[in-house]
Structures are given as structure tokens and as C-alpha cells.
Amino acid sequence: MHTEAIDPPGIAWQRVSPKYITVRLVEWAVGNLVAVLLLSLPLLFVLLGVWRWPPLWLAVALPAAMLVLALWRLVLIPRQVRAIGYAERDDDLLVRTGIFFQRTMAVPYGRMQYVDIGVGPVERGLGLCTLKLHTAAPGTNAKIPGLPAAEGARLREQLAARGEARLAGL
Amino acid sequence: MTADRQVPGTGAPGSSPLPAGPAAADSAAPDDGWLRVHPASPFVRGWVALAAIGFFFGRDIFERMLQGRPVFTDELAGRAPWLLAGGAAMLLIAVLGFVLTWYFTKYQVSGGYVRVNTGFLFRQQRQARLDRVQAIDIVQPLLARIFGLAELKFEVADAGESAVRLAYLKMDDARQLRATILARAAGVSTGVEGPGEAAPEAPEYPVLSVPPSRLVGSLLLSEQSFFVAVGGVASVVLSAVTDNQSFYFYLIPAALGLAASYWTLFNKGYNFTAAISPDGIRLRYGLLDTQAQTLPPGRIQALKIAQPPLWRPFGWYRMQVNVAGYGLVENAGEGTSRTTLLPVGKLEDAMNMLALVLPDPGTAQPAAVFGAGLTGLDSDGGFVTTPRRARILAPLGWRRNGFAATDTALLIRSGRWWRELVVVPHQRTQSMALHQGPLARRFRVADLVLHTTAGPVAPRLTQAGVDEARALFNEQSARARLARKRQTTEQWLRQVAVPVVEPAETRPAPVVEPSSVVEPVETRAPHAPTQEGPQHG
């Protein structure tokens, strides 16, 4: 993937595991399919003749719109996962996400207060983990999902070591 | 800060309120520099409970007196013993609870830590590192003020629940303790380790005060008043058009709420004075409840100077700050007054405060640069604004939205009508991010967000040209890194006094230990049991 306009030039991004796509797919399925099914209920009632109010076109349009939206999100997932990247620089960690709404974040090692590793049920099955960085600022929402477990552990140790070496006050 | 919970070992909590083991340890403790808060403090804090008891049992008599009926009748005489016994029992339980709470609340200042022990069934011990003190307040609610008592409250930025409170102390004791804590935090060694031998209070020099007339004016011309006026006109018009009188009834609760809100702002902002002393900026304010805040130097994470449109004819500004720990205050009213550095002030007041907060502006012409940040347009004062190609994204603000960097701080200005200038010292930058949405990409602009501790200031540079934003992103990382290297100690006076010894002295004490990973859990856990404590008594 080519470097986007807002990324600092000359960065070799580390990409997250492609298996993370599966995790996102499961999340997508749980979230969106349930929403589509719920929105299809009026259609069902109308077809069965129980409800009279929503006209047929509205009852059809509602889940259809939701379905289109969900499919659009589905198509985006692989690209979104490929857009996630991180890079360890000398003094800070860069994390980038997003295709349409891009974000490139720099978290200085000296500012990290602690590093979390979280593993969800699907991630555990695939041997992945999510790394979360915390600084004193609540706005630092730096999350690197979909790391292979070994890489996550290595990164955590690395960040902790670098953080200790460059520790600064608040 | 760490907090440990010590549950007394005695298995039956109901058997005796004074378990033998801990009690024996406690009786010895005050000799080791442990002090107790003022004996009247639980009554000052719990007067609502006492008032409730009084109201409950006195209501009948009071109503009789009000209605002119005889106070003592046969019917009452029959009930009187029960009433009296019930009242006395409740009073006794309340007072016993108060006395026990008081007896088991102890504090100690020694060895770079403040330790506070509370609770008698569920004990809680908190300790706070003095060199992590972010700010220290002396709060006097009205009742405490009448009794000459004060609450000492200080923020230690380590974990989630950060305020350490000591309520109540005698006013002089509170002042002295504040001086001691600040002196220790600053790294001044008094040579004496006992809290009794307190450090002398640092001298202070008044900087500015806000006259009440200006405060009232600022409240009347605030954004809130604008919406009040619009709402009032709208409802009057509605009631006239619909010929419906009930609109006025809806206005009554709204008016009450507004009056309360204005009163809070007036009460909190009244008699606002700022002073500078070697241990930090001192802010004092309050009509009925007074508060004295001390912000040690360099504790301010970010700062915002704002001017609503209605204030412009008068040249007034408002200053708000982010201080670690302040942003976590759950009480919104208290939070806003504590994060206000200047409720309303003229340009020179704002500049004076700015000079206190940022002693080294990092530029040769601070007045020109910061003045341009407040009122300037385009490239005055070295600001870089939104490129012309993106003016459609912010038709009014594009000439204002911009940034300038001095050697010590990043200035972000925005707003044509709602003017704002955000100042973030380089060494306080936590992390930052570039954001770009699809529309911004079309116009080749990007937003730069600086992350800072929780508070009213959220620094965001909007719609900067993509090349400028990227350059700033890199430069800012480098500047923050350099600034962090320069700033080596939390003990600000030591930095000046013994610059040679200081790195060796501060290094071994890790500022944020990796152990802080678990701290939020530890600090939160003991709170719920502590609050239950008195009820068990």
C-alpha cells in the first residue's frame, strides 16, 4: 500500500496480520446482520398482514438500505485492515488507520504510562491480540489491533523498555 | 499514589466498634507524626444529617406553633417519651459515627509522602508522592468558614481517583500544611522532618483582581445569556401567537434553573484575585464558599484564551486551563471554576496571566505574537493559516484558523466570531495525531490534534495545508522531545537551586513506575467500602 498524503515521508509501515480481517468479519456479521434482521421485522409483519401501517415500499426500503450499507462496510473491511499500520521510530511510535478518514498518530515513548494487551474470543482462536497504549491524555486512543500474539508481546516489551529509558514527567 | 485497604482482622464486625488489635496500634500512631483533623469537621460535613434529624422530630412541634395550637397536649404527652427516645437514639448513633470517623482519620507528612488514613470498619490508607502534586486547594464552604475551618485538597496525577482531601483543618493549619507540602514538593529541604516544623509560607505578590461589576457584565453578556434572551423572546412570541398562557408556567422552572446557574457563577467568580508566589500561581475566589488554589509552575498542560462575540466591544477575555487531575472532577460546577484561570479580564490581564503560566514565551516579541493569536488575521505574528484553496471549508474562519510555534509553546488560534487561542507548552505535549477526511483530502488540508490531559481545552488545529501540517507534525515531535529532555525534574525549585546534583537525584526515583498499570484498580477499590463505613456504625 502506498504512503498516504498525511503520513510522514520515508516510513516503512508494519502491517497487521491479514487474519485480523476474519475478526472484523465476525464483528461485522454480529453487528450488521442483527440490525438488518431487526429492520426486516416490519416487512415480515406487513407481509403477514398483522400490521397495516408501514406501506410495503417503506418496509422493504428500510432493511434494503441497511443491507446496502452493511455490504458497503463489508467491502471496505479488507482495505481498512490493510490500512492499519505502525512504525517504531527512535522516539515515538506511529500508528495509522483509515482510508476515508485517515489518522496518523505519534505517541512518544516517554509519554506512555502503560501498555495493555487485550484478546477477544475470536482473536484468541486466531492467535491475535490487540495492543493499547495509554498516556496521561484520554484523547490518546492508540490501538493496534490484529497483532500476532508473539509480535504483540515483543512490542509490549520493546515499548516498556523504551518508555523506561525515555521516561518523562507529566 | 497507592492506596491499600486494611480490613481489621476481627471476624465479627458487629461485636465491637473498636477491635483491640488495630486500636492498640492506633493509639501509638499519633506519636509518629500522625495528626488528626479538627474534631468539629464531621459535624461541619454531616450537618445535613443532623438537620434532617432535627427536622424530623421537631416538625410536629414547629407546625403546632405555626398554627397557633397549644404545643403541649395530652396526645403529645403520650408520645413524647417515644419521640424523645427515638430522637436521642438517632442522634447518638450519628454522633458516634462522627466521632469514630474523626478518630480514625489521620494524616502524616513525611519522607516525601502525604499519607491519609480513613475509615474504621473498612480502613483505607492513601499515600501521595509530594513531588507529583499538581495543584493544591484550600476550600472553605460557608459553614466551615463560619467555624474558621478549611478543607485542603490536592491533586496528584498518577491514577484515576487523584484528589486527596483533608477536611477539615483550622485555617492556619491548612495554610501551613499547604506551605509545607509545596516546599517539599518544590524540593526545598527544611532540614526538619516533622510536620510541626512547617516551612514558612512563600511570599506572594498580587497580579490582578476582577471587579464585581465586570463579573456581572461578563455574565450578562455571556453565551448563556444570549440563548436565554432568544429563548425568552421565542416563548413570549409563541404564547402570543397561540394565545396560550401555559407557556409562562414552563418558564418558571427554567427561570429558577437559570437563576441558580447565574448565582453559582457569580458566587464562584466573585472577588477573583490572582497572585504569584515562588511556589506557584495563587487564585482566590468565592462569595460565600471561598477557595484558594495554588498551581505550581509548569503544571499547566494546556491553556485556552477565548472571547465570545458579545465581549468583544469591552475587550474581555476568558482563560481556562487543563491541569492533570482537575478534569476528572465529577461535579461540573466545581470543575469549571477550578479550571478557570481568569473568569473575565482585559487584554493586559490576559497577557499578565499568560506571562505567569509561560514565563519564557520563547519568542522575541511576545506581545506581537500572542496579540496576533488573540485578534490577528492571516499571517500577522508569524501565524500559518488555512490555505486559500480551502476557504470554502471555513468561509469565515479560514483567515483566523492557524498556528504559530515559539521555542516553548505551540499556539493554535481559531474562530472569527468566537475567538480562541490555545497554547500548549512543548514539554506538555502527550501525543498527537493528524486527521484527514475525504473532503479535507480534496482540498489538501489536514487537522492536527494534540492530546492533553482531560479538561476544557482540546487543542485542535483545523484545516491546515497538508504540507504545513505534516511539517508541523514532525517538527512538533522533535520540539516536544527536546523540551522533555530539558525538563528533567518535578521539583521545580531544586532545578534552580542545585542544577548539578539534580539529574543524579531525580533519576533513581522513577516518575511513573510501570507499577502504575495496576494502580487505578487499587485506588478505586477501597472507595466503595469506605463510604459504607459510617452506615455500619
Q: What is the pLDDT of residues B279-321, one digit of tens each?
A: 888 999 999 888 898 888 778 889 999 999 899 999 999 999 9
- Give a yes or no: residue B513 inside a domain: no
B290 located within any domain: no
Q: Decide if A140 and B481 are in contact by the 8 Å CB cutoff.
A: no
**Mean pLDDT along residues B19-44:** 60
* Predicted local confidence at residue B161, as pLDDT: 56
Q: Check whether B60 has a pLDDT greater than 90.
A: no
Q: Which chain A residue has its CA at the smallest distance from B160's CA?
A: A136
| Average pLDDT for B416-424 | 93
* Chain B residues closer than 8 Å to A137 by CB: 430-431, 451-454
Return d(Cα A138, Cα A161) in angstroms, integer. 22
B358 and B249 in a common domain: no
- Would you call B433 and A5 a contact, using CB atoms and an 8 Å cutoff? no
Nearest CA in chain B to A136: B453
B179 and B215 assigned to the same domain: no
Check A5 against B441: CB less than 8 A apart.
Answer: yes
What's the complex ipTM?
A: 0.88
B chain contacts of residue A110, beta-carbon cutoff 8 Å? 481, 484
Q: What percent of chain B has pLDDT over 70?
A: 77
- Which residue, among B437, B440, B460, B436, has the nearest Cα to B450 in the 3D structure? B460
Residues of A in contact with B455 (CB under 8 A): none
Q: A115 to chain B: nearest residue by CA?
A: B517
**pLDDT exceeds 50 at position B97:** yes
For chain A, give the number of residues. 170
**b/e sequence B104-118, b meaning 16+ C-beta within 10 Å:** bbbbbbeebbbbbbb
Task: Look at residue A4 in the predicted model and tell me its pLDDT.
Answer: 58
Q: Is the dihedral of CA B127, B130, B132, B133 positive or negative?
A: positive
Out of B58-62, B212-216, B417-421, pick the least confident.
Answer: B58-62
Specify the DSSP class assigned to residue A90. Answer: S
Query: In terms of domains, do B230 and B198 share one?
Result: no
Whether B51 and B180 map to the same domain: the answer is yes
Instruction: Choose the closest CB to A114 out of B434, B466, B517.
Output: B517
Residues B255 and B356 in one domain: no
Do B245 and B342 lie in a common domain?
no
Query: B16 to chain A, minimum CA–CA distance in Å?
Result: 43
Which residues in chain A are closer than 8 Å to B410, comparing Cβ atoms?
Answer: none
- Selecting from B430, B474, B514 the residue whose C-beta is nearest the C-beta of A140 gives B430
Interface test with B, best of A3, A6, A166 (most B CBs within 10 A): A6
Specify the DSSP element, H or E, that contains B498. none
Please tell me the predicted confidence (pLDDT) of residue B389.
92
A105·B446 Cβ contact <8 A: no
B9 and B155 fall within a common domain? yes
Could you give the dihedral angle defined by the CA atoms of residues B212, B218, B220 and B226, in that order, rounded to the nearest 10 degrees? -170
Task: Give the range with max mean pLDDT: B43-47, B168-172, B523-527.
Answer: B168-172
Whole-number pLDDT of residue B75: 67
**Distance (Å, whole) CA B418 – CA B375:** 11
Please determine, for residue B39, whether its predicted confidence score (pLDDT) is greater than 70.
yes
pLDDT at B4 > cutoff 50: no
Report chain A's mean pLDDT, rounded to a whole number.
Answer: 88
Total of domains in chain B: 3
- Test B490 with A169 for CB contact under 8 angstroms: yes
Residues of B at the A interface, defined by Cβ within 8 angstroms: 132, 134, 157, 301, 324, 427-438, 441, 444, 446, 449, 451-454, 458, 466, 469-470, 473-474, 477, 480-481, 484, 487, 489-490, 510-512, 514, 516-517
Mean pLDDT of B145-170: 78
Q: How confident is the model at residue B461 (pLDDT cuts 50, 70, 90)?
A: very high
Residue B140 pLDDT exceeds 80: yes
Q: How far apart are CA B411 and CA B425, in angstroms?
A: 9
The model's pLDDT over A15-45, given as tens digits with 9 standing for 90+, comes to 999 999 999 999 999 999 899 889 888 888 8
What pLDDT score was predicted for residue B493?
Answer: 54
CA dist., res. B506 & res. B492, Å (int): 12
- Taking the C-alpha atoms of residue B111 and residue B130, their distance in angstroms, rounded to an integer, is 9
A50-103 pLDDT, tens digit each:
888 888 888 889 889 999 999 999 999 999 999 999 999 888 899 999 988 999
pLDDT of B28 reads 36
**What mean pLDDT is reported for chain B?**
77
**Share above pLDDT 90 across residues of chain B, in percent, rounded to a whole number:** 23
Beta B133-140 vs B290-295: how paired, if at all?
antiparallel
pLDDT higher than 80, residue B331: no
Structural domain range at position B119: 2-204+518-536
Cα–Cα distance measured from residue B526 to residue B428, given in angstroms and rounded to the nearest whole number = 31
**Per-residue confidence (pLDDT) for residue B9, from 0 to 100:** 36
Helix (H) / strand (E) element for B310: namely none
Among partner residues A91, A106, A169, which is closest to B432 by beta-carbon distance? A106
* pLDDT for the residue B520: 34
How many Å separate Cα B72 from the centre of its chain? Answer: 52
Same domain, B101 and B134: yes
- Same-domain pairing of B133 and B10: yes
Contact state of A101 with B436 under an 8 Å Cβ cutoff = yes
Lowest mean pLDDT among B138-152, B259-273, B487-501: B487-501
Q: How far apart are alpha carbons B57 and B86 in whole angstroms?
A: 9
Which of B130, B322, B430, B485 would best serve as a mutation to test chain A binding (most A beta carbons within 10 A)? Answer: B430
- Nearest-CA residue of chain A relative to B438? A100
pLDDT of B503 over the 70 cut: no
**Residue of chain B whose alpha carbon sits nearest to that of A101:** B437
In this structure, the dihedral spanned by the alpha carbons of residues B362, B368, B371 and B372, taken in order and rounded to 10 degrees, is -100
Asked if residue B432 lies in contact with residue B451, where contact means CB atoms within 8 angstroms, the answer is yes
Fold of the domain built from segment(s) A84-165: PH-domain like (2.30.29)
- Check whether residue B480 and residue B354 sit in a common domain: yes
Contact A104 B473 (CB under 8 A): yes
What average pLDDT does range B214-230 have in this prediction? 87
Same domain, B530 and B458: no
pLDDT at A72: 93
Torsion of CA B391, B392, B398, B399, to 10 degrees: 50
Q: Is residue B278 in a domain?
A: no
Strands B273-277 and B205-209: antiparallel
Report yes or no on B496 lying in a domain. no
- B227 pLDDT band, cuts 50/70/90, is confident
Backbone angles phi, psi at B509, to 5 degrees: -95, 100
Contacts of B429 in chain A (CB under 8 A): 108
- Ranges of each domain in chain A: 20-80, 84-165
For the ranges B45-54, B329-338, B389-398, the maximum mean pLDDT occurs at: B389-398
pLDDT at residue B528 in the model = 33
Is B311 in the same domain as B443?
A: yes
Q: Which residue bears the cell 518523562?
A: A168
Nearest-CA distance from B204 to chain A in Å? 26
* Residue B535 in this model has a pLDDT that exceeds 70: no
**pLDDT on residue B306:** 94
Please give the average per-residue pLDDT across B411-438, as a whole number.
92
pLDDT, residue A75, reads 93
